[in-house]
Chain A
Amino acid sequence: SQTIHQWPATLVQPVGSPLSLECTVEGTSNPNLYWYRQAAGRGLQLLFYSVGIGQISSEVPQNLSASRPQDRQFILSSKKLLLSDSGFYLCAWSVRGGPRTQYFGPGTRLLVL
């Protein structure tokens, strides 16, 4: 069966510090991968999606970037965090070329102080 992992689970970072969040998927090959941000009490905002290694599409201009160095690894990064980057970050995957169901990871809660 497929599983999706995210780490860390919680992160507290000062403004201006760098960020690296990691997501890995097991039990599937060539997945589509997604990064979402969820502000408190709000819906999910798609940040990036990827259909293959090195292929990243950005949905909204922001202080963040994404990379996919391996087929089942998706990384969210920032060089300098802003207060507004605080939120709950969710990674998700779906079957490439298959049903569009997305499966979410457990999320990373980021607090920028």
Chain B
Amino acid sequence: GENVEQHPSTLSVQEGDSAVIKCTYSDSASNYFPWYKQELGKGPQLIIDIRSNVGEKKDQRIAVTLNKTAKHFSLHITETQPEDSAVYFCAASISSYGKLTFGQGTILTVHP
């Protein structure tokens, strides 16, 4: 089955800096890659996603890039703010039923 590796497991940045989280996946048939943000005690919230026919997608301060040849995708957050502090999860999917395989998560801390 699909395996998703995510790193780093923790990331600490200063407010205003950029943050990058990277994920690799094992199954070349994967074609949908969402990113979720989870705040303490809450359910994950989708922040951005990308499909395999697209190499990059941007939404304000958040962007995702996908390299299908290398089987990795990354989340980029620019001009970080303290409210960006949370756990971020990447995921990959090849199933028409929408089954997702998640990475282990990255704890992002943005220091004021």
Interface residues of A (CB under 8 A from B): 32, 34, 41-44, 46, 49, 51, 90, 92, 94, 97, 100-107, 109
Contacts of A101 in B (CB 8 A): 34, 46, 49, 98
Task: Let me know if B61 is at the binding interface, CB within 8 A.
Answer: no
* Docked-complex contact B34 and A51, CB < 8 angstroms: no
* Docked-complex contact B102 and A43, CB < 8 angstroms: yes
Task: With CB as the reference atom, state the residue of chain B lying closest to A6.
Answer: B43
* Docked-complex contact A90 and B34, CB < 8 angstroms: no
Considering the complex, which residues of chain B in the window 13-61 have a beta carbon less than 8 Å from any beta carbon of chain A?
32, 34, 36, 41-46, 49
Interface residues of B (CB under 8 A from A): 6, 32, 34, 36, 41-46, 49, 89, 93, 95-105
* Docked-complex contact A100 and B98, CB < 8 angstroms: yes
A-B contact pairs, 30 of them (CB 8 A): A32-B97, A34-B98, A42-B104, A43-B89, A43-B102, A43-B104, A43-B105, A44-B44, A44-B89, A49-B97, A49-B98, A49-B99, A51-B97, A90-B43, A90-B44, A94-B98, A97-B96, A100-B32, A100-B95, A102-B34, A102-B46, A102-B100, A103-B46, A104-B43, A104-B44, A104-B45, A106-B42, A107-B41, A107-B42, A107-B43
